Amino acid sequence: MIADVPAERPVLATELSFAGRVWDLRTDTVDLGESGVVTRNYVHHTGAVAVMALNDRDELFLVRQYRHPVRTETWEPPAGLLDLADEDPRDAAARELFEEADLTAARWDVLIDMYASPGGSSEGIRIYLARDIAEVPEAKRFARSEEERDMEGRWVPLDEVLASIWAGSICGPTLLAGAMAVDAARRSHGATLRPADAAWRRPPSPLD
């Protein structure tokens, strides 16, 4: 088995180039030793969680949401930022499932951890498998706003999601990684799953 190797290079200088509403842009001067000193710009991200909610019919609950940078309404699992200090990632995932899907789950496992784009962003994403699903009563549902107000939610068979990936008709990274991880868990009868509180090599956050 291989593993990523945590490694720090000396940061000679760091600058907050842009402070955004959701994440920041930093510029670091990094000493790479014999390779020289380089300047790197990157998105300093809070990190995120995503939820692959799976029902007894082997269907995933997905939402379709407008993503302005790619000018596309992408199908995605319920997901959100880890932008509350000291919030447990599983609690954040449960919050996003409640807010975006009007669902709760009694059973949680870790499917996969990933870096969204490690060459330009510090965003780490933990994707959970949520099962034993229940609907939130209508009177207790979260009032969605802005980009989330009109987003569509739908139960989609896992096999249909996988076929859409191979056809190239869906491209969101959390859905691609999450759906393939759910399929791996299905094929291994759960052997690939980790406990909901499994250790996570989460990159440093602006909230740290």
Q: In what order do the strands lie in the sheet with 103-115?
A: 79-81, 48-53, 124-135, 103-115, 194-195
* Structure confidence by residue, pLDDT tens digits, 90-109: 999 999 999 999 999 999 99
* Structure confidence by residue, pLDDT tens digits, 126-170: 999 999 999 998 887 777 666 666 778 999 999 999 999 999 999
Find the helix or strand (DSSP H, E) in which 180 lies: helix 173-187
What is the set of active-site residues? Answer: 148
Terminal-residue alpha carbon distance, the chain:
31
Class for the domain spanning 48-195: alpha beta
Q: How far apart are CA 50 and CA 166, in angstroms?
A: 21
Domain ranges of the chain: 11-44, 48-195
Widest CA span in the chain:
62
